Amino acid sequence: MTVPDSKEPQFLSSKAIIRFQDCDPYSHLNNGKYLDYFMNAREDQVWKTYDFNIYEYSRTTGLGWVVTQNQIAYIRPALLMEEVTIESQLIDSKPKFLHVEMRMYDAERTLKSLLWAQFIHIDIRKGKSIEHGVELQELFNRVCVPIEEKDFNERLRNMTKKSGNQ
């Protein structure tokens, strides 16, 4: 794992194409699949940006993260074969928890979906939560970008105003 210096990105971004097998009969991304797109994007972004493979970390340390809570808003449908941009950022870090915000946009930067995901760090072998080590906490402190809003619905209102979704 590479600990980023102050010049490394805190806002991660990647593109994805909405695939046929993930869509409903109306050619909209199935609601349950949004989580897959968001989580896959975040994993890839973290690996590419920070050279941190969460699966290798889990395999070698016996530690990992599980989702404890998701809050998601479906604002505009993501459509079959549409290219979307998925952005993510760490918005809060505690000794055992991470809180990540992920956003999906279309080509015109209209917000399609907003996700807040909370993760807890666990010892996989023991099935119990565990605090992040010093190196991880240093990484999180360097890349965390807190947001003003503490309430998901307030954040959603502000984000939709910004992206012209009203």
pLDDT for 152-165, tens place per residue?
999 999 999 887 66
Residue 16 has pLDDT above 70, yes or no: yes
Q: Are strands 63-74 and 83-93 parallel, antiparallel or unpaired?
A: unpaired
Return the sign of the alpha-carbon dihedral for residues 18, 19, 23, 26.
positive
- Rounded to 10 deg, the angle between the 54-61 and 31-50 helix axes is 80
Burial bucket for residue 144 (CB in 10 Å: 0-12, 13-18, 19+): middle
Residue 149 has pLDDT above 60, yes or no: yes
Give me the pLDDT at residue 29, please.
Answer: 98
Count Cα neighbours of 153 within 13 Å in the Cβ-side half-sphere: 0
Give me the pLDDT at residue 3, please.
Answer: 45
Residue 2 has pLDDT above 70, yes or no: no
Enumerate domains of the chain plus CATH numbers: 12-159 (3.10.129.10)
Spatial separation of the C-alpha atoms in residues 79 and 66, rounded to whole Å: 29
Residue 92 has pLDDT above 80, yes or no: yes
Cβ–Cβ under 8 Å, residues 63 and 113: no
Query: Closest Cα to residue 84, out of 105, 63, 65?
Result: 105
Structure tokens at 17: 């194409």
Average pLDDT, integer, range 25-53? 97
pLDDT for 44-90, tens place per residue?
999 999 999 999 999 999 999 999 999 999 999 999 999 999 999 99
Whether the full predicted model's pTM is greater than 0.85, yes or no, is yes
What's the start-to-end Cα distance of the chain, in Å? 41
